[in-house]
Every structure is written in structure tokens, then in C-alpha cells.
Structure 1
Amino acid sequence: MILRSVNHENVIRFYGACTKHRKYLIVTEYMAGGNLYDFLHKQKNTLKLSLILRIAIGISKGMDYLHQNNIIHRDLKSANLLLGDGQVVKIADFGLSQEGDMTSENCTYRWMAPEVINHKSYDHKADVFSFAIVLWELVTSKVPYENLTPLQAALSVRQGLRLVIPSSVHPRLSKLIQRCWGENPHTRPVFSEITAELEDILQTFQAASSSKGSHRHTKQKIQMKSQ
């Protein structure tokens, strides 16, 4: 019912469902790139900043749309983010409770906000925390808390532990990650703010890259003239 009610370019499109007993199926659009978890961790892809930002912006826009429609994802993680042509990203499996083995390597615990781990009441800001972990995955291409079991990771997050952000990460992106996984949900930004910040970082980066390219081109012209 939730899938049926939403329509956004960064949310998986719903086509139909089979409700016949033992044949429960949901039919959605096909996403040829598979999920982001496999793309990063099984295919061992390392992403350039411009692609990191474009993927992050797509996720943030989709999440902002869901939140605007009073839908909390509750299970935002890289395995639930699907890639299509042109590496467009779409959110899937939202509003559903996690089923199966909660100790598996792809477990929700690695992305879970402390208030959820502590069984406290939570709201849409729990999704913002999970987004921070996904953003960390994008900039590092690593599995969150890879040296810990999912349960150990959850216990560590409860105690205030956060992932280490490499010094090579863009400083504004690093600051945004830290804001998003803050202990206090009320101090975490909303997705409209996150989208605006990511778009500004991308625009600044592209302008700087264009300026460098123009400078190199001018330098080459000067060298050719001097020759």
C-alpha cells in the first residue's frame, strides 16, 4: 500500500502484487545495477567525489519525499538502495519491518540509530542517522564496523562509538556525516537541508574542477606560444 501511494524519481516504482497464498510477490521496475551494497563491497568499486555526491543527492531527495509524506523508512541501508541506468539511485523496501537473521553480515544493526537500538521512541530522524552510515560507505567503500559483529556494532553505537572518517574525505562532507549521526536526533538535519548542502558541495566542486581545467588549457596555450 505504501509503494502504491508514492511517486518519485528516487523511489522504486510499484507495478503490482500477487496476493495468492504462498505466492506473495511485489512487482517493481527493474534496476539493472543491483543494490548499492553489492556495488560497493562485492564489486569493490571506489567512487569519485562527483559520483558520491550525485548518488547521495538522489537518496536524500527520495528520503525527503518520503518524510514529506509522513513515511519513515526504518531500514535505510545500502542493500535497500538500487542502481539503474546512468547510476540513478532509487530507494526500496521502505516502511517494512526487517525479517530474517538479524546477525547476518548485511544486518540492519550496522545502520541503526542509537534510539532504535535502545528501543526508545523514534521518528524520521532515525533515517537521517542511517543515511550518515550510507554516506560513510560511499566515501570509504568499506562495510560499516567491518571488524565487529552486527551485535557488537549495535552495542558500540549505544556507547557513543562512531565510524572513523578518513582525513582525505571532503571537509564539508565529513562535517555533514557527523551532523547526521549525532547522538541527539533533534540536532540532526532534515533531508531538505542535507540535499541543499550536498548540491552546494557538488556545485562548488564542479566549479573548482572547471576552473582548474581552464587554467591548464591556458597554460598549455602559453607553452605552445613560447615554443
Structure 2
Amino acid sequence: RYLLKITDFGLSKTARHELHVFPDDPDKMPFKWLPPEALHRREVSTKSDVWSYGITATEMYGVVDPYGMMSNEKVLPFLNDGHRMEKPSSMPSYIFVILLRCWRKQPVDRPTFTEIERELLPFYIEFETSHLEMVSDRLAAEKNEQENDGDGRDNDKPGNQ
């Protein structure tokens, strides 16, 4: 069994709940994944990682770059005007609702990773159950098909149709 761990997104610092100011060159930072407070004041915290998690999750569902072709220079004004990434068509609405909370302007208003996990767990269990049922149905259909193919009839030869 695998254990998934959530870590920071390019802002490698040892942090618990304290705030850090990153000294790195901003040109080398994952600009489109950074929250407004990091872009404005170069401040990062675990709540910055929550923002970045939301961007990454949306990117994975939509298989798109964050904010499309928007240049880095336009992202901050876009965010300051209250805009956020759009929901990918393949993303369930309940997940997008959680991600919208990850993108709240004030870090204190964003959920913690523990809260995100708690909210996603029931859906994960439901998904896992339905996925197992789907796999089980598929395996049963394949087994049935193999049994029918091996019934002694040669359905591919002319005259046996």
C-alpha cells in the first residue's frame, strides 16, 4: 500500500505554522502557483501551500497550464480582481468547491490540509468503491467473453455463422 504525502510546491522551507519570507530570485519561483501574499510581499506559509495545492489539483484535472496562456505579469492583477481558475469540465463540482476555498484571498480563510483531507475522504471512499465495482464488472465480462469463445465453436470460419 502507498502513502501519499502532501508537501510544499517549490517553496522548500522547514515550516510548521510560522511565516517565512523566501529570499530566492522571484524569476525562479513557480509564479502561477503562488498565492497573492507571496507575489505581493514574498511571504509564504503552510496556507500558501494550500493555495498551490488547489492550482496543482486543477491543473491535473484539466491537463492545462494554470491560467492558460496568461503571462506572469497579468496573473497578479487577475487574482487581485477576484478572478480564479475555471473548473475543468472533468472535475467534479464538489472538488472544485473545496479548491475555491483554497484560493481565498486571506490565508487565514483557507482550509488546512487536514480539513481538505477530511472533506475529500468520503468521496475517495465512494470513488474507490465504485472503481472496484467497475473493475469487477469488467473482469466478469472478460471472463464471460473468454468462456463463450472457448465453447467449442469456431465462429470465425465461414459457414459457422
Fold agreement, TM-score > 0.5: yes
**Whole-angstrom CA distance in 2 between matches of 1:154 and 1:172:** 26
**Whole-angstrom CA distance in 2 between matches of 1:98 and 1:133:** 21
C-alpha contact 1:117 1:158 (8 A) present in aligned 2: no
> Residue 217 of structure 1: CA displacement?
4.9
Structure 1 residues 150 and 120: alpha-carbon distance in aligned structure 2, compared to 1, 3 A threshold: closer
**Whole-angstrom CA distance in 2 between matches of 1:114 and 1:158:** 8
**Whole-angstrom CA distance in 1 between matches of 2:36 and 2:71:** 16
Alignment of 1:154-169 (within 5 A): 154-169=76-91
Matched, 1:99 2:16: no
Which residue number in structure 1 is paired with residue 111 of structure 2?
Answer: 189
Per-residue deviation, residues 126-168 of structure 1 (Å, max 9, x unmatched)? 2211221122122122221232110111221111111111132
**Whole-angstrom CA distance in 1 between matches of 2:35 and 2:74:** 14
Using the TM superposition, name which of 153-162 and 165-174 deviates more.
165-174
Structure 1 residues 141 and 219: alpha-carbon distance in aligned structure 2, compared to 1, 3 A threshold: closer
Alignment of 1:195-214 (within 5 A): 195-214=117-136
Q: What secondary structure sits across from 2:68 in the alignment?
A: coil
Q: What secondary structure sits across from 1:178 in the alignment?
A: helix
Using the TM superposition, name which of 196-205 and 171-180 deviates more.
196-205
Say how many residue pairs are matched: 142
Matched, 1:153 2:75: yes
Q: What secondary structure sits across from 1:58 in the alignment?
A: coil
Alignment of 1:29-178 (within 5 A): 57-59=4-6, 62=7, 69-70=16-17, 96-99=22-25, 102=27, 107-119=29-41, 123-178=45-100
Q: Which runs of 5+ in 2 are unaligned?
A: 9-13, 152-161
> Residue 221 of structure 1: CA displacement?
7.3
Which residue number in structure 2 is paired with residue 12 of structure 1?
Answer: none
Per-residue deviation, residues 155-210 of structure 1 (Å, max 9, x unmatched)? 21111111111132123322221111122323211011223334443322111111
More strand by share: 1
Q: Which has the larger radius of gyration?
A: 2
C-alpha contact 2:62 2:90 (8 A) present in aligned 1: no
**Amino acid corresponding to residue 58 of structure 1 in structure 2:** K
C-alpha contact 2:58 2:88 (8 A) present in aligned 1: no
What's the % identity of the aligned pairs? Answer: 23
Matched, 1:179 2:105: no
Q: Which runs of 5+ in 1 are unaligned?
A: 1-53, 75-94
